[in-house]
Structure 1
Amino acid sequence: KSILHLDMVLSIEFQRHYRLFTPERLRAWTPSVILFGTAAGSAVALIAERIPRVRNEILQNVPIIGNYWAPKEE
């Protein structure tokens, strides 16, 4: 007996991609990338908050939480 059935048709579909990234891979990696980016950005902000220029020009301009770094009135 033959394993090959002539009534079966081989169809090849090409998947959209950019280099090795396909939409499915990007969708799977998105939550991890967002979490890592948020954690890294928060760590840099907390470490750099002691630098006056960072505090005055960046952190004070963040919406909602920018008042935390506002200069204290005496």
Structure 2
Amino acid sequence: MSRLAFKTQSPLNATLTASKRWVSSLGIWGFSAGAGALLLLSVTPLVRREVLVKVPVLGNYYEDKTPASDKPF
């Protein structure tokens, strides 16, 4: 029969081991939540002007090209 040998872990090592398991999952969920929030808030003028226009590749798509005479306010 084989014997089981348990090693004691320091609290720091146990914390690092547990955090390594969760970091990738939390990163994926956080990125997805941020992308979803930007998708839902992309119609808001403040988000469009302050965030989405400043994205290097997509900035031209979100610029407001409506002439001032056609804007109601």
TM score, norm. by length of structure 1: 0.65
RMSD across aligned C-alpha pairs, in angstroms?
Answer: 2.3
State the distance in 1 between where 2:33 and 2:9 align.
39
Give the total of aligned pairs. Answer: 61
Give structure 1 regions of 4+ aligned residues with deviation exceeding 6 angstroms. none
- 2:35 aligned residue: 42
Residue segments in structure 1 that go unaligned for 5+ positions in a row: 1-10
Matches within 5 A, 1:1-74: 12-16=8-12, 22-72=15-65
State the distance in 1 between where 2:40 and 2:49 align.
15
Specify which structure has the higher proportion of helix: 2
TM score, norm. by length of structure 2: 0.66
Larger CA deviation: 56-65 vs 31-40: 56-65
Residue segments in structure 2 that go unaligned for 5+ positions in a row: 1-6, 68-73
State the distance in 1 between where 2:15 and 2:36 align.
30
State the percentage of identical aligned residues.
Answer: 30
Computing the radius of gyration from Cα coordinates, the structure with the larger value is 1
